[in-house]
Amino acid sequence: MRRPGRRWGPFAPSPAVSLLLVLARPAARADDFLDYKYVDYAETGDRIGVRTQVLDAGQDLGVDTHLGLILTNDAIAGASPTGLPAPAGSAQVPLAYLSDHRKEWEGDLARQVGPVNVAAGVSESREHDYVSRGWSLNTLSDFNRQNTTLLAGVGGHDDDVETFYTFARPYVPRRALSAVLGVKQLIDALTFVTLNVTWGRETGYLDDQYKLVEKTLELVPGSFFPTAFHENLPGEHSFVAAFASVNRAFPGARGALGASYRFFSDTYGIEASTAELSWQQKIGDRFTLAPDARINEQGAARFYYYDLDATDIAPTQVPSPGGPNYSSDYRLSSLWTSTFGLKLTCNLGDRVRADLAYDRYAMHGRDGVTPGSAYPSANILSAGARFSW
């Protein structure tokens, strides 16, 4: 089964945009490094747990060229809502147990050409029923005595999804293309601002085949039975997102403040806003303490239904993107999320750095219909170390 987060909705960029942002190195000349990160994402109530290990390496090849490689290993297990409504007299939505293993690699080659840094990247991710291959091309251009940096990039992914109801063609395609344009401006010696606009489009098989919807049908005269169907999403999805941030250092306090806002809108009818505030505090010569708070709110997709009983939709056993469209996936409902975290970083020497972080994540419904049991809360622990040379 695809891991949670395959459908992030507005919470994060699409896979292609994520690759764009990861591979947009700030400069060709950088520290050569080896970075290891371990993340334990654990939803409460014996729901989804994901253990992630990431190995990130970068190496300069001469003065103007930099090679980067990221290896990711995910293990997932736990229970997740099926999309079916809670049984009569209960507030607990049905859950299904799942497990999977994902392996991913990303690589990029960046070269400084005068004031322009050009980075080309490729990636591949594999699960037992999902293969994704991505690419990206980014440029970072310095202007105004390096006080202004322009980001421009494109990226895409070409996926094959294994389905269990199209027997003649078990693997169906999913394609995406994304573009990002942004600018970072130094305001003064202590302050800089960032503005980005991202556009993306996906086509092909966009459903989560493990998510169900329910409608009560009269299967025999006078007898009604709740019947489950697979969700049916459109075969095309486009979005636009705008991001703005400001960062300012406060030397007297030995700290720095970061604030950002992101607006998201897509063709599903979802609109979302995300605000984040962070502080980095130096403690002595070795430690940095960084609290962080993030709030997100989103509206529902136009085709989200808790169930189909109050609609005239006639669902089908084999989904057809031409419609009608329907889904009971809570991630497409009207909701808000909060994340509060704290990160401690320690410089163990000129070449070694370690960090430890904890985040508390919670999701809450806003439609007054979907039970609270559909929405997860999670504890997120992470630890990492970096060695540079």
Instruction: Tell me whether strands 287-298 and 352-365 are parallel, antiparallel or unpaired.
Output: unpaired
Contacts for 96 with CB less than 8 Å, ≥ 6 apart: 79, 80, 81, 82, 210
DSSP symbols for 210-269: T-EEEEEEEEETTEEEEEEEE-B--SEEEEEEEEEEEEEEEGGGTEEEEEEEEEEEETTS
Distance CA 37, CA 54 (A): 5
Higher-pLDDT residue of 5, 144: 144
The reported pLDDT for the residue numbered 257 is 98
The pLDDT value given to residue 13: 38
CB burial class (10 A; 0-12, 13-18, 19+) of residue 168?
A: exposed
Cβ-based burial of 165 (10 A; exposed 0-12, middle 13-18, buried ≥19): exposed
Tokens of 123: 């990636």
Residue 20's alpha-carbon distances to 236, 289, 335, in angstroms, are: 21, 29, 27
State the pLDDT at residue 17. 38
Q: Which domains does the chain have, with CATH numbers?
A: 9-388 (2.40.160.40)
In this structure, what token pair is assigned to residue 263?
């607006």
- For the residues 35-50, what does the mean pLDDT come to? 97
> What was the pLDDT predicted at 5?
37
Which residue, chain included where needed, has tokens 């007297």?
A: 252
Whether residue 23 is predicted with pLDDT greater than 80 in this model: the reply is: no
The sign of the dihedral angle between the CA atoms of 347, 349, 353, 354 is negative
H-helix or E-strand spanning residue 80: strand 65-81
Q: What is the structure's pLDDT at 283?
A: 98
* Range from 19-23, 112-116, 266-270, 339-343 carrying the lowest mean pLDDT: 19-23
Q: Tens digits of per-residue pLDDT, 306-316?
A: 999 999 999 98
Q: Is 118 exposed, middle or buried (0-12, 13-18, 19+ CB in 10 A)?
A: middle
Q: Are 19 and 134 in contact (CB under 8 A)?
A: yes
Average pLDDT on 151-177 reads 87
The token duo for 357 is: 């972080």
As a whole number of angstroms, the distance between CA 194 and CA 296 comes to 20
Output the pTM of the full model: 0.89
